[in-house]
Structure 1
Amino acid sequence: MTDPEIISPALRKLLDIMTSPDVPVERSIEAAKAIIEYEAPPEVFDLTYQFLMGVAQDPKADVGLQLEALKLIRKVEARRVSPGTTRGADPMEGLGKRLEEARVKAEAKRKAMN
């Protein structure tokens, strides 16, 4: 795994809870959530991801637990979209260029008519 000095005592305990066969899966998922929602060393993150995928792909697992695992996986797979960060096309954008093109065309037509 990773260097023991890098893993905090809290992170170590969360890993113990997540990987313990004596802990109900619901509680293990809660521990995985606490790990995956915050920065963790890559090895810890990978282990947590593998655990969640194992729950999600287990045909014997409760559907609610599978959904919870999948929601956590999607949280880290997909970049979150924050409200207000996207904008629609500005109809005025490029207006100056279009006006200049129209002016040039009109000037060319006027010259051709004379």
Structure 2
Amino acid sequence: MGSEYDHGVVQGSLKLKSGKVSKKTKKRKSKRRPESPSLERPKVSTERTKTEAEKRHEEVLKKRKLEQIEKLAEKSHQERLKEFNELLEQTPEQHDMPRVGG
């Protein structure tokens, strides 16, 4: 005996719609004919030239990077650690942090 939920349920395997099942054939690509020299298009350069503003921007970036490198090279690692530890000693007790060793 079926349950009340079986009403209207089709039993068995699924069936395909009627009609032939046909395979699609691949389209063949046509071979390109070599172009004659008279039909050649003029070659356009693919290199992108930079505008004056772009050149100036790159120069400014290079200059800033060099300044940053010089600033870092002024002090050794040991000097920076010493300076940092002095800063930590000056802070109040509630912000107390352990000293950094080098």
The interval holding the TM-score normalised by the smaller chain is: under 0.3
Greater helix percent: which structure? 1
| TM-score normalised by the chain length of structure 1 | 0.25
